[in-house]
Amino acid sequence: MSVTARIITHLGEFDLDAQIEASPGETVALLGPNGAGKSTVLRAIAGLQPIDDGCIRIDSTPVDEPASRTFIPPEHRRVGMVFQDYLLFPHLSVGQNIAFGRKGLFKDNDASNWIDALDLRDLLKRKPHELSGGQAQRVALARALATNPRVLLLDEPLAALDAATKQSVRGQLRRFLQRFEHGTILVTHDPLDALVLADRIVVLEAGRATQEGPTTEVASQPRTDYLAALLGVTLLRGVATDGVIECATGGSLIASTSLTGDVVVVLRPQAISLHTNKPEGSARNVWHTMVTSVEVHHDQVRVALAGPPPLVAAVTPAAVAELGIAPGQRMWASLKATDITVHPI
Amino acid sequence: MRTTKSPAPRVLLVLAGLALTFLVLPLIGLLIETPWSELPALLTSTAATEALRLSLLTSVLAAAVATVLGVPLAWVLARIDFPGQRVVRGIVLLPLVLPPVVGGVALLTVFGRRGLVGQYLYDWFGVQLPFSTAGVVMAEAFVAMPFLVITVEGALRNIDPRFEQAARTLGASPRRVLFTITLPMISASLVAGVVLAWARALGEFGATITFAGNFPGVTQTLPLAVYSALEVDRDEAIALSMVLLAVSFTVLISLRGRFLGSRS
Q: Tell me which H or E stretch contains A230.
A: helix A225-231
Distance from CA of A149 to the nearest CA of B (A): 9
The reply to whether A150 touches chain B by the CB within 8 Å rule is no
Per-residue pLDDT at B200: 92
CB count in 10 Å sphere of residue B107: 23
Which pairs count as long-range contacts for B75-78, CB under 8 Å and 24+ apart, including other chains? B75/B152, B75/B153, B75/B156, B75/B178, B75/B182, B77/B149, B77/B153, B78/B153, B78/B156, B78/B157
Residue A153: closest C-alpha in chain B: B169
Q: How far apart are CA B123 and CA A43, in angstroms?
A: 56
Which residue, among A240, A187, A249, has the nearest Cα to A218 in the 3D structure?
Answer: A249
Distance from CA of A272 to the nearest CA of B (A): 47
Cβ <8 Å between A100 and B185: no
Q: How far apart are CA B231 and CA B219, in angstroms?
A: 18
- In this predicted complex, what is the ipTM? 0.76
Cis ω on the peptide bond leading into residue B26 (within 30° of 0)? no
CB-based burial of residue B97 (10 Å sphere; 0-12 exposed, 13-18 middle, 19+ buried)? exposed
Cβ <8 Å between B166 and A78: no
Cβ <8 Å between A100 and B184: no
Distance from CA of B182 to the nearest CA of A (A): 10
Q: Residue A2 carries which side chain, given as an amino acid letter?
A: S
Cβ <8 Å between A74 and B168: yes
Per-residue pLDDT at A103: 57
- Determine phi and psi for B191, rounding to 5 degrees: -60, -45
| Helix spans in chain B (H) | 10-33, 39-43, 46-79, 85-97, 100-111, 118-120, 133-158, 161-169, 174-177, 183-185, 187-203, 206-211, 222-232, 234-254, 256-259
Residue B176: closest C-alpha in chain A: A103
DSSP state at residue B215: -
Residue among B162, B163, B170 minimizing CB distance to A147: B170
- B140 has a pLDDT exceeding 50: yes
Distance from CA of A99 to the nearest CA of B (A): 10
Cis ω on the peptide bond leading into residue A50 (within 30° of 0)? no
What residues of chain B, 136 to 165, have a C-beta less than 8 Å from chain A? Answer: 160, 162-163, 165
First to last CA, chain A: 26
Non-local (6+) Cβ contacts of B51 within 8 A are B216, B220, B221, B222, B224, B225, B240
Distance from CA of B166 to the nearest CA of A (A): 7
CATH tag for B57-218 (out of 3.30.479.10, 1.10.3720.10, 3.40.50.720, 1.10.1200.10)? 1.10.3720.10
Residues of A in contact with B185 (CB under 8 A): 89-91
Give pLDDT tens digits for B234-244.
888 898 898 88
Give pLDDT tens digits for A54-64.
999 998 889 99
* DSSP β-ladder status, A27-31 and A200-205: parallel
* DSSP β-ladder status, A208-214 and A200-205: antiparallel
Per-residue pLDDT at B202: 93
Residues of B in contact with A39 (CB under 8 A): none
Q: How far apart are CA B190 and CA B258, in angstroms?
A: 12
Q: How far apart are CA A196 and CA A61, in angstroms?
A: 30
Per-residue pLDDT at A290: 83
Non-local (6+) Cβ contacts of B93 within 8 A are B146, B149, B150
Residue A145: closest C-alpha in chain B: B170
Residue A48 and residue A74 in contact, taking contact as beta carbons nearer than 8 Å: yes
Q: Residue A118 carries which side chain, given as an amino acid letter?
A: L
What order do you get walking across the sheet with A79-82 strand by strand? A70-71, A61-65, A53-58, A3-11, A14-22, A208-214, A200-205, A27-31, A183-188, A151-155, A79-82
Residue A81 and residue A155 in contact, taking contact as beta carbons nearer than 8 Å: yes
| Residues in a beta bridge with A264 | A237, A343
Distance from CA of A238 to the nearest CA of B (A): 36
The reply to whether B72 touches chain A by the CB within 8 Å rule is no
For chain B, give the mean pLDDT. Answer: 89
Q: How far apart are CA B86 and CA B71, in angstroms?
A: 18
What order do you get walking across the sheet with A311-315 strand by strand? A273-275, A330-335, A285-297, A300-305, A311-315
Give pLDDT tens digits for B161-176.
999 999 999 999 999 9
Set out the domains of chain A in order of their start, with CATH numbers. 3-220 (3.40.50.300), 234-344 (2.40.50.100)
Residues of B in contact with A101 (CB under 8 A): 170-172
Cβ <8 Å between A100 and B172: yes
Per-residue pLDDT at B263: 42
Interface test with chain A among B158, B162, B170, by most A beta carbons within 10 Å: B170
Distance from CA of A110 to the nearest CA of B (A): 15
DSSP state at residue A38: H
Residue A72 and residue A63 in contact, taking contact as beta carbons nearer than 8 Å: yes
The reply to whether A300 touches chain B by the CB within 8 Å rule is no
- The DSSP string of B164-185 is HHHHHHTT--HHHHIIIIIHHH
| Residues in a beta bridge with A139 | none
Residue A74: closest C-alpha in chain B: B169
Give pLDDT tens digits for B202-219.
999 999 999 999 988 899
Per-residue pLDDT at A104: 44
Which residue, among B181, B91, B184, B192, has the nearest Cα to B148 in the 3D structure?
Answer: B192
Distance, CA of A142 to chain centre: 20
3-state SS, residue A262: strand
Residues of A in contact with B171 (CB under 8 A): 75-76, 78, 101, 103, 147
Q: Residue A215 carries which side chain, given as an amino acid letter?
A: T
Task: Give me the residue spans of the domains in chain B.
Answer: 57-218
The reply to whether B175 touches chain A by the CB within 8 Å rule is no
Give whole-number Cα distances, A114 to A102, A109, A183, B93, in Å.
13, 8, 17, 50
Model confidence at B4, in pLDDT bands (50, 70, 90)? low
DSSP state at residue B121: I
Number of Cβ pairs closer than 8 Å across A and B? 52
Residue B140 and residue B56 in contact, taking contact as beta carbons nearer than 8 Å: no
Residue A45: closest C-alpha in chain B: B169
- Determine phi and psi for A239, rounding to 5 degrees: -120, 125
Residues of A in contact with B169 (CB under 8 A): 46-48, 74-75, 77, 79-81, 144
Q: Residue A308: left if φ>0, alpha if ψ -120 to 50, beta else—which one? A: beta
Cβ <8 Å between A77 and B160: no
Residue A301 and residue A317 in contact, taking contact as beta carbons nearer than 8 Å: yes
Non-local (6+) Cβ contacts of B120 within 8 A are none
- B259 has a pLDDT exceeding 60: no
The reply to whether A91 touches chain B by the CB within 8 Å rule is yes
Residues of B in contact with A79 (CB under 8 A): 169
Cβ <8 Å between B168 and A73: yes
Q: Is the dihedral of CA A94, A100, A102, A103 positive or negative?
A: positive
Cβ <8 Å between B169 and A81: yes
Higher model confidence: residue B227 or residue A281? B227
Cβ <8 Å between A87 and B166: yes
- The DSSP string of A89-105 is -TTS-HHHHHHGGGTT-
Per-residue pLDDT at A109: 53
| Residues in a beta bridge with A234 | A267
The reply to whether A95 touches chain B by the CB within 8 Å rule is no
Q: How far apart are CA B186 and CA B154, in angstroms?
A: 10
Distance from CA of A122 to the nearest CA of B (A): 23
Q: How far apart are CA A204 and CA A34, in angstroms?
A: 10
pTM greater than 0.90 (yes/no) = no
- B198 has a pLDDT exceeding 90: yes
Cβ <8 Å between B184 and A91: yes
Distance from CA of A170 to the nearest CA of B (A): 22
Residues with pLDDT less than 70, chain A: 103-112, 220-225, 228-229, 297-298
